[in-house]
Structure formats: C-alpha cells, structure tokens
Amino acid sequence: MDQLLVQDLHKKSGLPLELIQIILRYTNRPQPKFLLEDVQNYYHSLIEIKDMYYNNWFQIEPGEHLNWLENDIIRYANNDRLTNSGPHFKMLNILSRSLMHKKLVEFPIFNNITMSVNTVINIFWGLFTVAERNKFLEDGLN
C-alpha cells in the first residue's frame, strides 16, 4: 500500500492510520453490485421515510415522529400484529438476517431490553430487503 497516500489521507481526514489502511483495502476489492445498491437504498430510503414522518407529525413534540416511525416499523415487521402476542413468523424471518440476533430466540424488544428509538429504526431498516423498504414507503404514502 502506498504509504504516502495513507499519510496524506491521515493528515487531511484525521482518521487513524489503521482505519485508513482498512478502508483502502476495500477500494481495491469492489463489493458486489447488489450490496452497493442495498446500501444506497438503505441510506436514501431512510432519509425519505424520516422526512415523511417528520412532515406528518411535526406539530407534536420534537422527536415524536421517530416514535411513530418505530411503532409502524415494528408493526409492519410483525405482520400488523401487536407485539404483546409475540413475534410473528415474518418478524422472526426478518430478525434472522441479523448476525447479532442469530443466536437469540427472541429479539430484545420482546425481552424488555431498551434501545433508543433511532437504534431500533436503524436495525430494522437495515434488516429489511429493498422490496420491504419500498413496500413500507409505498404503504406510508397511501
């Protein structure tokens, strides 16, 4: 790896040298197109859905739109069933995509472990497929 490039990036960005070296290794190893499209969809659709909820719920307390979004995401993932009745097969299927939760029988939401609203939104939005995100956006617009 070109050490001058690494040093230059370190000076300009302030990032640790080790991190820059890891990032540069990925630039020489392109990722599959479907993965890049998924990342782009995640980023753009998350901004879109947060804006949509903000515009619909702005008159309520600050941040309330995120509470509504979290609730709707969990409801959608649980096949429109209340979570107090336990996770639906659809929810378990979505959660099984997470390496973090593969070994858990149930997701922390059902075990009364608290996470921030943003964390829950980001986890589920990341676990949704592009088609699921698009369906959620489409349903939200209707």
Q: Tell me the pLDDT tens digit for each residue of 36-58.
A: 899 999 999 999 999 999 988 76
Residue 95 is predicted with a pLDDT of 84
Distance CA 129, CA 142 (A): 20
Same domain, yes or no, for 12 and 76?
A: no
Domain count, the chain: 2
Same domain, yes or no, for 24 and 63?
A: no
Give the lowest-confidence range in 30-39, 41-50, 65-74, 86-95. Answer: 86-95
Same domain, yes or no, for 70 and 128?
A: yes
Same domain, yes or no, for 54 and 77?
A: yes
Question: Containing domain of residue 22, as a range?
Answer: 1-30
What's the whole-number mean pLDDT along residues 70-90?
A: 86
Question: Which tops the pLDDT comparison, 117 or 112?
Answer: 117
Q: Please give the model's pTM, rounded to 2 decimal places.
A: 0.71
Same domain, yes or no, for 11 and 65?
A: no
Total count of residues recorded for the chain? 142
Element at 98 (helix H, strand E): none
3-state secondary structure of 93: helix
